[in-house]
Amino acid sequence: MAVYFHGESRNFHLSNDRISYILTVLRNGHLGHLYFGKKLPDRESYNYLLEEALRPMTSNPYEGDRKFSLEHCLQEFPVYGSSDYREPAVEIREGNGSRITDPRFDSYRIYSGKPRLEGLPATYTECPGEAETLEITLRDSVTNVCFILSFTVFRDYDAVARSCKICNNGTEPVHIERIMSFTLDLDDNYYDWIQFSGAWARERFPEKHRLHTGIQSITSARGHSGHMHNPFLILKRPSADEHQGEVFGFSLIYSGNFIIQAEVDTYGTSRIQMGINPFQFSWFLKPGETFTAPEGIATYSSKGMNGLSGIFHQLYRERLIRGIWRDKERPVLINNWEATYFDFDEERLIDIAKKAHSAGIELFVLDDGWFGCRRDDTQGLGDWTPNKNILPDGIAGLSRRIEEECGMKFGLWFEPEMVNKKSVLYETHPDWILQAPYRKSCHGRHQYVLDFSRKDVVDYIYSSMAAVIKESRISYIKWDMNRSITECYSKAYPPEQQGEIFHRYILGVYDLYDRLTTEFPHILFESCASGGGRFDPGMMFYAPQGWTSDDTDAVERLKIQYGTSYCYPLNSMGAHVSIIPNHQLNRSTPLSTRFNTALFGVFGYEMDLTRLSDREFMEIKSQVEFVKEYRTLIHSGTFYRLLSPFENNEAAWMVVSHDKTEAITGYYKILNDVNAGFKRLKLAGLDESFQYTIEGKGIFSGAELMSAGLVINNPPEQDKTASDFRSEIFLLKSQK
- Measure the CA–CA gap between 448 and 442, rounded to whole angstroms: 8
194 to 221, 262, 305, 354: CA distances (angstroms): 20, 12, 11, 46
Residue whose CB is less far from ligand DGJ, 135 or 368: 368
The candidate with the shortest Cα–Cα distance to 546, out of 576, 579, 505, 508, is: 576
**Torsional class of 61: left (φ above 0), alpha (ψ -120 to 50), beta (otherwise):** alpha
Check: CB of residue 651 under 8 Å from CB of residue 670. Answer: yes
Q: How far is the CB of 359 from ligand DGJ (least distance, A)?
A: 21
- Measure the CA–CA gap between 90 and 109, rounded to whole angstroms: 22
> What is the residue-wise DSSP string for 59-101?
--SSTT--S--GGGS-BSS--SSSS--S--SEEEE-TTS----
Residue 140 annotated as catalytic: no
Residue whose CB is less far from ligand DGJ, 414 or 566: 414
Residue whose CB is less far from ligand DGJ, 205 or 547: 547
Residue 106 annotated as catalytic: no
Q: How far is the CB of 279 from ligand DGJ (least distance, A)?
A: 27
Q: How far is the CB of 368 from ligand DGJ (least distance, A)?
A: 4
The candidate with the shortest Cα–Cα distance to 415, out of 337, 527, 316, 505, is: 527
Element (DSSP H or E) covering residue 664: strand 662-669
Residue whose CB is less far from ligand DGJ, 201 or 705: 201
Contacts of 613 (CB under 8 A, 6+ apart): none
Residue whose CB is less far from ligand DGJ, 47 or 545: 545
Check: CB of residue 304 under 8 Å from CB of residue 241. Answer: yes
Q: How far is the CB of 367 from ligand DGJ (least distance, A)?
A: 5
Residue whose CB is less far from ligand DGJ, 285 or 575: 575
12 to 45, 162, 674: CA distances (angstroms): 9, 15, 61
Q: How far is the CB of 391 from ligand DGJ (least distance, A)?
A: 17
Tell me the residue type at 265: D
Q: How far is the CB of 668 from ligand DGJ (least distance, A)?
A: 24
Query: In this structure, what DSSP letter does residue 440 have?
Result: -
- Tell me the pairing of strands 418-420 and 447-449: antiparallel
Residues facing residue 371 across a β-bridge: 386
Catalytic residue, from 140, 368, 383, 550: name it: 550
Q: How far is the CB of 582 from ligand DGJ (least distance, A)?
A: 14
Map residue 271 onto helix, strand or coil: strand
Residue whose CB is less far from ligand DGJ, 202 or 669: 202
- Tell me the pairing of strands 214-219 and 258-264: antiparallel
Nearest-CB residue for ligand DGJ: 368
* Residue 312: exposure state from Cβ atoms within 10 A (0-12, 13-18, ≥19): buried
- Measure the CA–CA gap between 689 and 413, rounded to whole angstroms: 49
- Tell me the pairing of strands 680-681 and 202-210: unpaired
Q: Is the peptide bond before 581 cis (omega within 30 degrees of 0)?
A: yes
State whether the Cα torsion 464-470-472-476 is positive or negative: positive
Contacts of 166 (CB under 8 A, 6+ apart): 90, 92, 145, 146, 147, 148, 176, 179, 285, 290, 291, 293
Q: Which residues of 397-416 are buried (b: 16+ CB within 10 A; e: fewer)?
A: bbbebbbeebebbbbbbbbb
As a whole number of Å, the CA-based R_g of the chain is: 27
Residue whose CB is less far from ligand DGJ, 220 or 530: 530
Catalytic residue, from 383, 480, 536, 553: name it: 480
- Measure the CA–CA gap between 623 and 596, rounded to whole angstroms: 9
Residue whose CB is less far from ligand DGJ, 138 or 528: 528
* Residue 107: exposure state from Cβ atoms within 10 A (0-12, 13-18, ≥19): exposed
Q: How far is the CB of 260 from ligand DGJ (least distance, A)?
A: 25
Q: How far is the CB of 218 from ligand DGJ (least distance, A)?
A: 22
Cα 486 off chain centre by: 23
Q: How far is the CB of 573 from ligand DGJ (least distance, A)?
A: 14
Q: What residues line the site for ligand DGJ (CB under 6 A)? A: 337, 367-368, 413, 480, 482, 528, 530-531, 547, 550
Q: How far is the CB of 510 from ligand DGJ (least distance, A)?
A: 21
Q: CA torsion 719→724→725→731, rounded to 10°?
A: 10
Active site residues: 480, 550
